[in-house]
Amino acid sequence: MVSYDECGVSVKNDGFRRVYRRMRRQANFDNDIRYIYEEAAFSLAGDRQTRILPVVLSEILFIGGWVISLVKAASSEPGPTNWVNVEAQSIAISALFLWVTATVVIGSLIGASQTEDMVPRILHTMENDLGSFQGRNDRRPSTRERVETVWCPRSVHRARTGGTYSWRPDKWKGTRTKLGVSRAAVFASSLVAVIVVGISFSVAALLSYLVAPQGFSCRHIPETIVFAIWLLSFAVETVCEIYLGRRLFWTIFWKDALSALSIVAIILLIQWGIMNRCSCWSRWGSTGLHLPQMTGLKGNLMHFIRHVAPWIVLAAIVLHLRLCVAVVWKYWDAFRVFIQRDDGASNLGWERSGR
C-alpha cells in the first residue's frame, strides 16, 4: 500500500486491500498466489534499497575531513602568516553542517526508486498476474501504455504526490491517516529534524564562544543567520505544503534554491575575510585585541584547539550517530529493506523473518 501511495495512486489502496482479503480466502493462495505478492514486495524492496558501501564511504569521508581539519589546526603554531584562532573559528562555522552525519544515514534508510517507471512497472505487473485468478486474462502492460493511460503520475505531479520518498508534501493532510500516520507523529518527526539541526548550531555557537576572546561576538552572527535561514525555510515549506496545490513543487524548488544560494553567499563572505576585523577578536572593543602570537593567549588557544575542540566535535558526531541508531531501532522494517536484495535475502546474511 505504501508503494501505491508513493507512486501517486493512493486511491488504489482500498482496492488493493479488498483484492488481498479475497485472495487470502482462496484455497490455492499459499501454492499459487502468495508468490505474486512476495515477488512484488521483494522487487519493490530491491528497487528502493540504497547500497551500503557508498553510505559508509560517505560517512568516512565526512568524518575524516573533520579529523584532518582538527589535526591540521592542532599541529599549527601561531605565526605572522598563521592565525590559528581564525582556523579554530573556521572549525566552529563548519560545525553548522554536522547534521549531515545523521541525514546521510537516515536518507539512505528512506531510499529512492532507481527509475521513475520502476514502481509502476512492478505494481502494474502484479495486478495483471493477479488478474488470472480473478477471471481476467490481461497481458503484461508496456511502459508506453502506462504513460498513455496515465496509470501513474509522472514528473512533477508524481514528486508532489509521493514519488520523492524523502519529501512528502501531503504529510500534513488527512490522506496520511489512511496509512496509520497520525498528526502527532508528523509533528514529532518535524521536531526531531529541528533538534538535529539545532544541535549542530549549538555546537558551532559553543566552539565560537570558547575561541579567545571568550564570549558572544560578531563571530556568532553568520552562524545565527545560517540557522535562521534553515528555520525560515522549514517554516515556509510547512505553510506551502498545507495551503498550496499545483504550484507547490516549483515554489519549494525556488525556495530551496534561494536558501542554498544565501548560505553559499554567507560562506563566501566568511572566506573573503569579513570575520578578520578587529572587533571580532576584541569582543566589539570590550577587551584588548587577542592576537594568537601573544604569550599568555597562545597557550590557552592551543589547549583549546588540541584538547577541547576535538572532544566537542567528537561528542556531537557520536550524538548524531546515536540518533541514527535510534531511528533504525524505531523503523526496523526500513532497515530490513535497506539491507535486502530483490530476492528477499539479506545483504548481511541474516535470515528474513518467517512468512
- For residue 19, what is the enclosing H or E element? helix 13-24
What is the reported pTM? Answer: 0.73
The amino acid sitting at 80 is P
DSSP lists the bridge partners of residue 82 as: 79
Place of cell 544565501: 262
3-state helix, strand, coil in the chain (%, to 5): 70, 0, 25
Render each residue's pLDDT in the chain as its tens digit; 355 residues: 566 666 666 667 677 778 878 888 877 777 878 888 878 877 777 776 666 677 788 888 888 888 888 887 777 776 666 666 777 778 888 888 888 888 888 877 776 666 667 777 787 778 777 777 776 656 566 666 666 555 666 666 666 666 566 677 777 765 555 556 677 777 888 888 898 899 999 999 998 888 877 778 888 888 899 999 999 999 998 888 888 777 888 888 899 999 999 999 988 888 776 667 777 777 766 676 676 666 667 777 778 888 888 899 889 888 988 888 888 787 776 676 666 554 555 554 444 444 3
Determine the 3-state secondary structure of 234 from DSSP: helix
The C-alpha cell that represents 184 in the structure block:
502527532
Distances (CA, A) of 188 to 142, 173, 201: 41, 15, 20
Domain boundary assignment for the chain: 1-49+117-153, 51-111+167-338
Spatial contact of 313 and 66, defined as CB atoms under 8 Å apart: yes
248-254-259 Cα angle (round to 5) = 120
**How many Å apart are CA 72 and CA 305, to the nearest integer?**
10
What does each C-alpha distance from 2 to 14, 165, 240, 283 come to in angstroms? 12, 10, 23, 54
Distance between CA atoms of residues 303 and 24, nearest Å: 69
